[in-house]
Structure 1
Amino acid sequence: MRRKTSITLLSVGHACVDIYQGAVASLVPFFVAERAYSYAAVSGIVLAASLLSSVVQPVFGVLTDRWTMPWLLPVSTLLGGLGIALSGVGGPYALTLVFVAVSGVGVAAYHPESARVARIAGRGSHGGMGWFSVGGNLGFAAAPLMVAAVVATGGLRLTPLLVLPALVGAVLCLPVLRALEQQQSAGAGAAVWAGVDDRASFVKLSLAVVCRSIVFVGLSTFISLYAKERMGGSTAAGTAALFVLYLGGAVGSVLGGALADRWDRITVARWSYLLTAGSVAGVVFVPGPALYLCVALTSAGLYVPFSLQVTLGQDYLPSRVGTASGITLGLTVSIGGLASPLIGSLADATSLQAALSPLILMPALSWLLFRTLPEPVVPQPEPIVPQPGATAHPKGDDTDATLSHARPDHD
């Protein structure tokens, strides 16, 4: 299967999975309307989706460093969809938390292995990883529209229909996995990267991603309610703001890959975070329809570094690509959800505007951290011949682990 075809299928599958990350925030207004949940209560739902992910995703990253687990892609996709599908039919608050947490585990299991497979399929190019990330952004963007189309017409009782993207995503994984198995059996394109782990830089990178995550998850949780409040109580205004927040990420991901092909990843990410600090201030304080422009700029600014941070993490920890992916795509992103209950509690005590104001500082902190990071020097690869049928690669020594360090080439 051609490289671009594989990346395209993986990107669409990524979209199907990340619909369920976006669906959690998209369901918040409906939980408030139908079940009279407080800001703190809906923050708890977002936390349920994030908390298990923050623990489980790095664990799956460690496992994929040791064993190939391609079956995780279709299975985790189905699990992510099933949890959201059931979240609307479980009346008690505790049961809703359980179903949302199940979806979070499915999404968590998907990302480390999918990032490994995407880097193999894209041969390490920034453009390939950027297009893979675009799928996730489009899934986020589609979530509020899909939830609105389904739930707004018949209420939360129709959430079982939301399982359909999971079925599509699981099917799309299969031809890519078959092509990958054939490639590895033939030994095509295998290469080892003899790199040294830079753990200090990886920790700084992870802290920067945490700051980014706090902004994105905080806005994802409350932007629809905030826009509704600022735009005269219109539910459509809130849905539109969430759609813009998610769609802008697709633009940012493509732009990030293109800019990184022209300049280094550190420079691109650093400037992006600096500009994003200003756009977040605009989201909080600029009145009227200009809010949507500020939301779009914030989204693009937060996503320009997104795929670059994934490859940076892999290059800082070349012997633990799955672990690096699990942390940059999972743990650090999910930690943002831990801040949501604090934002919700502050909003209950004061106002949404006051609660969202501290988010302005987060991109500035990411900018400061990136000022201390070096651009990794990626060594030349050494060809290897894989053993056909091998399924385990302890400590990253097997073909499947090393393939993910394939030499970057630009699309």
Structure 2
Amino acid sequence: MNGVNRIPLLAAGHATVDFYQGAVPALVPFLVADRGYGYVAASGIVLAATLLSSIVQPVFGVLTDRWRMPWLIPLSMLLSGAGVAAGGVTDSYVLTWLAVALSGLGVAAYHPESARLARIASEGSHVRMSWFSLGGTLGFASAPVLVTPLLSVWGLGASPLLALPAVLGAVLTLPAIRALGGQGSRSRAAAPVAGSDDWPAFTRLSMVIVFRSVVYVGLSAFVALFMGGGAAGAVALFVLFAGGAVGTVLGGRLAARWGRVRTMRLAYALAVPAVAGVVLVPGPAAYAFIAASSIALYAPFSLHVTLGQDFLPTRVGTASGVTVGLAVSVGGLASPLVGAVAEAASLRTALACLIVFPVLAWLLSRALKEPAAAA
């Protein structure tokens, strides 16, 4: 099994883990309806999925720079599934919060090591790396499609069934993990690292990802409620997540032709009117802007990963932990603020505040240049 053939298996594992990131926003409308949570309480559940992940993500990145830990990948999948499965059946808000936080811990443990193995398997191809990222996006997209019908029919008591994808994903990816774990060991021992770490550029890139994360997590947490909840909300989430699949593949192909930094700047420039349309355009037409927002925000997603790894060539695990995990999950820390604005003013006003973040991402991306080694 060569690197190209391992990418689909790694993408399947990525889909499994990110399914649970998408499952948390899909759970929120049911928690609001069944338990009477307000906007702040609901956004706190989203925060639970990202807070612990944000804290421990750099730790896992540093660990994977020092030691190869392929066994961490299936274990993290199981933790992610167990947390979401328990979150729907706990009796109190605190226990629900802790269960969802456990899922976030699994997500944090997964990304640095999996991104390192995906880099080996992709053999430097931006398009192949985009397919790995696509797996995570499809996992996001499938969450409302599976979670909403399941809980609509059987209620939150059916949440334990949501652990099944984790078990399936862990079993499915084991062959690729075993093969690449050994290959990664040989390549590290034999191949010297080219280039030096560019921390200023990596810091700017991380801030770009944080700004992107704030707007995307804010949309994923509240767009279902903004569109009316129920079936309309589930469709909004599906459009948001499925649009990301299109953007992920498109970003890899555009980067192969135009370069990563240029593609990233264009994507964030287009994200500004797209996010504004979600908030300002009424009726069914808003779904088109939801899709456009997702495509624009996800086009640079896999490019962030490879850019970060090229900015820190001697610390690939750390770069992966930040670009795939920490900088992404930090956006969830802002979700309670979005909820507070929604309660103080309106949900439309809260989402309107998100428009500024793709502007900031675009402005900061203009200070980035393609890494010298890659160029």
- Same fold (TM > 0.5): yes
Counterparts of 1:278 and 1:121, CA distance in 2: 36
Contact 1:119 1:128 in 2 (8 A): no
- 1:275 and 2:270 aligned: yes
- Cα separation, 2, equivalents of 1:62 and 1:305: 24
Higher Cα Rg: structure 1 or 2?
Answer: 1
After superposition, the C-alpha distances for 1:177-207 in whole angstroms (9 at most, x for unaligned) are 2222453577699633321111101111111
Size of the aligned set, in residue pairs, is 375
> What's 2:176 paired with?
176
1:331, CA displacement in angstroms? 1.4
The 5 Å alignment of 1:165-244 reads 165-183=165-183, 191-228=191-228, 235-244=230-239
Cα deviations by residue, 1:285-329 (Å, 9 ceiling, x for unpaired): 001111010000000000000000111011111111100111111
- Name structure 1 gaps, 5 residues minimum: 229-233, 381-411
Structure 1 residues 260-299: aligned runs within 5 Å: 260-299=255-294
Give the C-alpha shift of residue 3 in structure 1: 2.1
- The match for 1:397 is none
The Cα of 1:254 is off from its aligned counterpart by 0.3
Q: Distance in 2 between the 1:188 and 1:113 partners? A: 14
One-letter amino acid matched to 2:125: S
What's the counterpart of residue 335 of structure 1? Answer: 330
5+ residue gaps, structure 2, are: none
Cα deviation, 1:69-128, whole Å, max 9, x if unaligned, reads 000100000000000000011010000001000000001100000000001011121011
- For residue 150 of structure 1, report the CA deviation from its aligned partner: 1.4
Amino acid at match of 2:140: F
Q: 1:212 to 1:102 in 2, by over 3 A?
A: same
Are 1:317 and 2:308 an aligned pair?
no
Q: Distance in 2 between matches of 1:98 and 1:185?
A: 36
Other structure's SS at 1:268 match = helix
SS at match of 2:192: strand
Q: How does 1:138-177 map to 2 (within 5 A)?
A: 138-177=138-177
Moved over 2 A (4+): 181-193
Do the aligned residues in 2 keep the contact of 1:193 with 1:379 (CA within 8 Å)?
A: no
Q: What's the RMSD between the two structures over aligned residues?
A: 1.5
Distance 1:184 1:113, change over 3 A: closer
1:376 has 2:374 as partner: no
Change (3 A) 1:323 1:265: same
Change (3 A) 1:198 1:187: closer
CA deviation string 1:343-370 (max 9, x = no partner): 1011011111001111111011101011
After superposition, the Cα gap between the structure-2 partners of 1:37 and 1:185, relative to the gap in structure 1 and judged at 3 Å, is closer
Which whole-Å CA distance do the structure 2 matches of 1:85 and 1:12 have between them?
20
Q: CA deviation at 1:2?
A: 2.4
Q: CA–CA distance in 1 between the matches of 2:323 and 2:348?
A: 29
Alpha-carbon distance change, 317 to 243 in structure 1, aligned in 2, over 3 angstroms:
same
Q: Are the aligned partners of 1:46 and 1:340 in contact in 2 as well (CA < 8 Å)? A: yes
Q: 2:296 aligns with which of 298, 301, 312?
A: 301
Give the aligned partner of residue 90 of structure 2: 90
Of residues 23-32 and 370-379 in structure 1, the stretch that sits farther from structure 2 once superposed is 370-379
Distance 2:98 2:186 in 1: 43
Instruction: Show the counterpart of 2:14.
Output: 14
Write the letter of the residue equivalent to 2:294.
S
- 1:255 aligned onto 2:250: yes
Q: Is the 8 A contact 2:209 2:323 kept in 1?
A: yes
**Alpha-carbon distance in structure 2 between the residues aligned to 1:242 and 1:189:** 44
The TM-score, its normalising length taken from structure 1, stands at: 0.89
Partners of 1:224 and 1:72 lie apart in 2 by 33
Which letter maps to 2:220? S
8 Å contact from structure 1 (residues 79, 102) kept in 2: yes
Partner SS for 1:70? coil
Distance 1:48 1:120 in 2: 32
